[in-house]
Chain A
């Protein structure tokens, strides 16, 4: 039997400490991605052509390069700027992950905004509602119903991408498992527990999103 309960019991607190960083990166990253994604979606829609073009270019660039490359790239750029050396790797991590996922979430927002029927815009015009009010009171609330489930799915995907933070030396769940495994040569225990922790966190979240999806489908 390669399983050792003693090692497992020893690993658990360490892993949970690493998991805190995983959670921080996911939650803050999701908040950044959700806000920035909306800004990108609105910018691509409403801004002058050249800004629009620039935003699209940046979005395409971010989507078509690997997250881990972006993490390392930004980490060493920051490390090279005097005064920014002290920025914690975790902060760089959730900013980069947040920006990375914002480019995907913006697409969800765009689809959600497009799903609002033209009649809604026409009714707003007929009531002479100003464009900003039309967007915040009529279009966005309806668009969000269509968007939130897919934002949730991206949050889960982001959660599962947090091990990439290993590349910039953030001690999150998988890094903790790696460290523990190396120290005690107990990789089986460490990574089994890490996998279970991931599963316990993301599966209920997925179920929650499914339920939310059903609830949001009708008013």
Chain B
């Protein structure tokens, strides 16, 4: 269990877009809702050149649900997150966010690409944290965080700065507002990246192996921050991680991928303690 002494305890400044009460991290039952799924993959296909990574993929993620994707490398987990963030072009099928098409829609039986502007309006509800942090090195920590709230959401600078500072406090980096990202450790950079994503008040947060590039002793602080978000907000989370204990603690559901297909899915308890597939068993024994 990683150390969690940096876990902030003050009341959460995170804004949550939904209206449901915050769920707890230990919840094993996914939030049920009559609202459309936060994310829906319908017959999704993704190929890079002649290599098909995902084929006929169908799944939904409920609002407020936290889903962990596990599986061997090359199984398409990261591609799924990148498709939701529109970092990859969908080669077949449809993705819906809150019931609305994200990049393509069906019109008169034809698959039509949506205008970029419309897609961008959808992606403002989605945040992503990357393995390599991807902070803007030409901006201070504070400027990294207020950039999108000001230039995408149209917030005033005062408001954006106030919220950014609260978020920095929350991730334990209140005194680093004026530092440049290159002066921070990997763990600190990643916490800034999390704060930057949260500053957009996302309904959906995509976490792509956010601790994989970190030194082991820095992983704990980042996981503590994420655990706190899971406990105090109802942000829908889709995560790819190799931190199985963390996945077990915060997820409502775990999906095991292999060869671009969902091999099996279930609660963390089912998947980690009682997997039904031999492939899942061997994968888990190799990473646990």
Residues on A lying within 8 angstroms of B by beta carbon are: 117, 119-120, 122-123, 125-130, 133, 137-138, 141-142, 145, 218-219
Contacts and interface: CB of A to CB of B under 8 A. Distances in A.
Nearest to A140: B138
A81 B139 CA distance: 50
Nearest to A133: B151
Contact of B86 (A117, A123, A125, A133): A125
A128 B152 contact: yes
Contact of A218 (B139, B147, B182): B182
Interface of B: 85-87, 120-121, 123-124, 126-128, 130, 132, 134-139, 147-148, 151-152, 180-182, 196-197, 200
Contact of A122 (B134, B148, B151, B182): B134
B148 A129 contact: yes
B109 to A, nearest CB: 30
B148 A128 contact: yes
A32 B4 CA distance: 56
Nearest to B137: A219
A219 B180 contact: yes
Contacts of B120: 128, 130
Nearest to A138: B136
Contacts of B86: 125
Contacts of A133: 151
A120 B136 contact: yes
B149 to A, nearest CB: 9
A141 B137 CA distance: 10
B281 to A, nearest CB: 34
5 contacts: A126-B130, A128-B121, A129-B148, A137-B139, A219-B180
Given A119-B132, A142-B137, A219-B137, A125 B85 contact: yes
Contacts of B123: 125-126, 128
A145 B152 CA distance: 26
Contacts of B134: 117, 119-120, 122-123, 126
Given A129-B147, A137-B151, A123 B136 contact: yes
A143 to B, nearest CB: 10
A122 B130 contact: yes
Given A142-B136, A219-B182, 5 more contacts: A119-B132, A120-B136, A123-B136, A128-B121, A137-B147
Given A125-B86, A218-B182, A130 B151 contact: yes
B237 to A, nearest CB: 15
A13 B116 CA distance: 62
Contacts of B181: 219
A133 B149 CA distance: 13
- Which of A127, A130, A138, A142 is most buried by chain B, counting CB atoms within 10 A of its CB? A127
A40 B3 CA distance: 53
